[in-house]
């Protein structure tokens, strides 16, 4: 409760201090991020239009977030403003909000209550030009003659509704005319968890994404591994205490390929080490093939990290070899956590202390390295026990079992890592850092 009061006072201070603030500017705006028990969309393969550097603004903005299964950020939409909570998803383009009350929804946006809400008619050029990169093409809703949009996800869930313009209030700045999906129907594979958020904030490089419409040159986030806090920073992160970021270039392919997402944050994975041992795999195992299958995406909308079958099998076997006598394998061939994680262990309360001695798994990228160690290597399966032991699963999964033709770096392995997405220089930077301390330094009171 004390953190909430601090954040409220801090927000009031910003509002008073920046009365003349107009978007864009060089001011700093942070949003709190929250990690909540929510839906893991596994969202891939959305639009394919790159961000134009000519449309980039110079503002720096910051918000805090919270996290658990999904990363969520709170902001205001409409006139008068309505509070909404959105899932932060770097694997998606279209931002959307639930706009129709349903029995399982606790939070919706009510367009009828907003004076600034403007639905996009079918006849508008926006319906044709701005939606051309969406995986599912826009259509015309015959009932109201409005521009109809739909989004589907790899877990078979989907959401649809109408494209609209609205005012989005980010911290102390207002972005009028923001294009988003006002969704009124859909199918969810986990409706109970989906009900905990109002919508989704698409953050990839597509022209309709949140970061593209806002015109920021870069954005960063930092997810605490010690609690459910975090921070999202929109704009440049120039802080004396933030040093040592290692950068890896974004891979860009201009030709359309059936299994390649051209506006994802795609980097080149070059190898994986377990401890000091590099997996014996050819470089071709990490390269996309002629169809685009095999790209490596950094995705905040996915919880864990998924590797294509041959690479996952090599990692699994090496981790098993190096942890023999340290961890007890759960011998149940029929148990697969989240449909793709089949290496699980029986762990007693006393043996959790040995997590710090587990071999580090290092993902080797072009020019940079991301290491996963300690408790981030294993995840406790909620509510599952065998006698006095808890079941923990290896936090890398098999993409093949999910039907995903890609390597995906999920947000669980991004905890306590400053993640920077530089849209101007086309690169991703990261460095290990205590994210709870970073949030305090940024004045979030986290």
Contact indicator for 215, 57 with CB cutoff of 8 Å:
yes
Cα separation values, 59 from 28, 30, 84, 434, Å: 7, 11, 23, 25
Catalytic residue among 40, 133, 236, 299: 299
CA 218 remoteness from chain centre: 15
**Ordered alpha helix ranges (H), 286-434:** 309-322, 399-402
User: Tokens standing for 211?
Assistant: 């970061």
First to last CA, the chain: 11
Q: Give the Cα separation of 278 and 371 in Å (integer).
A: 13
Contact indicator for 393, 343 with CB cutoff of 8 Å:
yes
Contact indicator for 86, 169 with CB cutoff of 8 Å:
no
User: Tokens standing for 212?
Assistant: 């593209």
Lookup result for tokens 């959401």: 159
User: Tokens standing for 367?
Assistant: 């020019």
Contact indicator for 273, 361 with CB cutoff of 8 Å:
yes
List the Cα angle 135/137/143 in 5-degree steps. 135
Cα separation values, 175 from 23, 167, 347, Å: 7, 6, 49
299 in active site: yes
Catalytic residue among 40, 89, 133, 261: 89
Lookup result for tokens 């306590």: 416
CB atoms within 10 A of CB 40: 20
Q: Give the Cα separation of 255 and 344 in Å (integer).
A: 40
Q: Give the Cα separation of 46 and 136 in Å (integer).
A: 9
**Active centre residues (catalytic):** 89, 299
């Amino acid at each position: 409760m004390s953190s909430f009061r601090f954040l409220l006072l801090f927000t009031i201070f910003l509002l008073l201090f920046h009365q003349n603030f107009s978007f864009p500017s060089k001011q700093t705006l942070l949003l709190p991020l929250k990690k909540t028990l929510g839906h893991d969309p596994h969202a891939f393969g959305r639009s394919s239009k790159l961000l134009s550097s000519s449309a980039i603004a110079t503002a720096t903005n910051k918000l805090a977030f919270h996290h658990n299964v999904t990363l969520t950020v709170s902001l205001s939409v409409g006139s008068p403003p309505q509070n909404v909570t959105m899932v932060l998803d770097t694997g998606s383009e279209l931002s959307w909000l639930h706009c129709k009350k349903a029995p399982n929804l606790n939070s919706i946006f009510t367009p009828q209550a907003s004076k600034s809400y403007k639905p996009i008619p079918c006849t508008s050029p926006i319906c044709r030009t701005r939606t051309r990169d969406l995986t599912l093409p826009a259509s015309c809703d015959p009932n109201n003659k409005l521009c109809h949009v739909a989004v589907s996800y790899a877990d078979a869930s989907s959401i649809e509704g109408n494209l609209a313009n609205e005012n989005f209030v980010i911290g102390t700045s207002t972005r009028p005319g923001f294009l988003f999906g006002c969704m009124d129907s859909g199918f969810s594979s986990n409706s109970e968890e989906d009900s905990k958020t109002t919508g989704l904030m698409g953050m990839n490089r597509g022209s309709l994404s949140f970061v593209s419409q806002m015109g920021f040159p870069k954005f960063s986030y930092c997810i605490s591994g010690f609690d459910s806090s975090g921070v999202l920073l929109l704009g440049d992160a120039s802080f004396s205490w933030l040093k040592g970021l290692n950068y890896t270039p974004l891979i860009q392919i201009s030709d359309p390929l059936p299994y390649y997402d051209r506006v994802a944050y795609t980097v080149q994975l070059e190898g994986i080490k377990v401890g000091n041992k590099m997996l014996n795999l050819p470089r071709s195992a990490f390269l996309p093939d002629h169809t685009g299958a095999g790209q490596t995406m950094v995705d905040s909308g996915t919880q864990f990290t998924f590797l294509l079958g041959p690479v996952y099998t090599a990692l699994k076997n090496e981790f098993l070899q190096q942890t023999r006598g340290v961890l007890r394998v759960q011998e149940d061939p029929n148990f697969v956590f989240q449909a793709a994680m089949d290496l699980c262990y029986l762990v007693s309360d006393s043996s959790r202390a040995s997590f710090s001695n587990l071999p580090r798994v290092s993902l080797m990228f072009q020019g940079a390295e991301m290491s996963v160690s300690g408790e981030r290597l294993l995840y406790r399966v909620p509510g599952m026990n065998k006698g006095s032991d808890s079941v923990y699963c290896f936090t890398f999964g098999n993409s093949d079992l999910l039907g995903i033709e890609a390597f995906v770096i999920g947000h669980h392995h991004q905890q306590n890592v400053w993640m920077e997405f530089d849209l101007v220089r086309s690169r991703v930077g990261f460095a290990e850092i205590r994210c709870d301390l970073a949030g305090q330094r940024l004045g979030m009171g986290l």
